[in-house]
Amino acid sequence: MVKQNQNALDRTFAALADPTRRALLARLQQEDGLSVSALAGPLGMSLPGVMKHLSVLSDAGLIRRCKTGRTVACHLQAAPMQEAAAWLERYERFWSGQLDRLAAFVESEEEQS
């Protein structure tokens, strides 16, 4: 079970690592259910290129594709991103501590100047 969850997390982070895929997810977050053509329009890339990105997002469970006639619509699926956020939250205390120390250092430097 842990291995399966790890593989899903790996696919999620791999999918989110690409700026084009993040742009596609952002568009779907703004307007869910867009067609593949509508998603491809502002990207300035070929439809097959966009389809490859959508396949990666679909494999990671970040989108769901529905075909109605000849039109394929994409829908955002947020659950894998929630799992990735939960994984990152476990390490937040390390970042917070580092940032708190940095803020204290900067404040002490400003007071000494």
Distance of alpha carbon 17 from alpha carbon 27, whole angstroms: 16
Query: What is the domain range of residue 79?
Result: 2-112
State the total domains in the chain: 1
Q: Which pLDDT belongs to residue 54?
A: 97
Structure tokens at 10: 């790996």
List C-alpha distances in Å: 3 to 8, 9, 86, 90.
9, 10, 17, 18
pLDDT in tens, the chain (113 residues): 445 566 999 999 999 999 999 999 999 999 999 999 999 999 989 999 999 999 999 999 999 999 999 999 999 999 999 999 998 888 887 777 777 777 778 888 777 86
CATH number, domain containing residue 19: 1.10.10.10
Dihedral (Cα; 42, 43, 44, 47), 10-degree rounding = -110
Q: Which pLDDT belongs to residue 5?
A: 61
* Contact (Cβ atoms closer than 8 angstroms) between residue 62 and residue 27: no
Cα-to-chain-centroid distance, residue 35:
19
